Amino acid sequence: MTHPFPRTARRTGLAGAAALLLSATAALAVSVPLPPGGGVATPPTTAATEPVLDGVVIHDALVPFKITSTTGAVVCEGNLQDRVVKSNKTGLLDFYYVIRDTKGTGAIGRLATRSFAGQPMRVAYRTDGLGTVPPGKANRSAAPGEIVTFAFEHPVNCAKSEWSRFILIETTVKAFQQGGETELVATAGGATVVKTVQP
């Protein structure tokens, strides 16, 4: 007969099994690499499980956006929070995006940002911050990997004023600049592009 729990869990009972399950879940809560042309399920992460994420906010802007239909009706509007954090441990920069302050009749299904051409990166979303809607998948355009796209399995519902989680791109750069762009795409059609920073 096979047992549903490992031998250590059988020795320690249900409490031990629960502790093992929680530790295994926590061990998975880290960012993952995203190479050019690649695609991954976007994992959760926290500063507790990934201490390198602790840092100082060196750029934080609320960028207004509005998505309209072909008839001019507002599908979704709000702010995109464009944030850069400098790691206390490495001095390297992490780029964050949050869809927030939403209102309208529709929902946002995808966020795509550029330009990350030629940059090694890791991706995740933070569960130790504001927001409720996580991205499901992350994809990157073919080499040199300029565009990074995050798709929401459950879209950000503007009619319910939902916020996304903090979407994370970890990089190996030590400086950022203007000139980036981020596109927000509604589930029923329509999109808008706003100015953001980039490596």
- Residue spans of the domains in the chain: they are 1-28, 31-198
pTM: 0.85
pLDDT in tens, the chain (199 residues): 333 323 333 333 434 433 333 333 444 589 999 999 999 999 999 999 999 999 999 999 999 999 998 888 999 999 999 999 999 999 999 999 999 999 999 999 999 999 999 999 999 999 998 999 999 999 999 999 999 999 999 999 999 999 999 999 999 999 999 999 999 999 988 999 999 999 9
Between CA 56 and CA 30 the distance in angstroms is 19
Instruction: Compute the radius of gyration of the chain from its Cα atoms.
Output: 19
CATH topology of domain 31-198: Immunoglobulin-like (2.60.40)
Burial string for 124-155 (b: 16+ CB within 10 Å, else e) reads bbbbeeebebbbeebbbbeeebbbbbbbbeeb
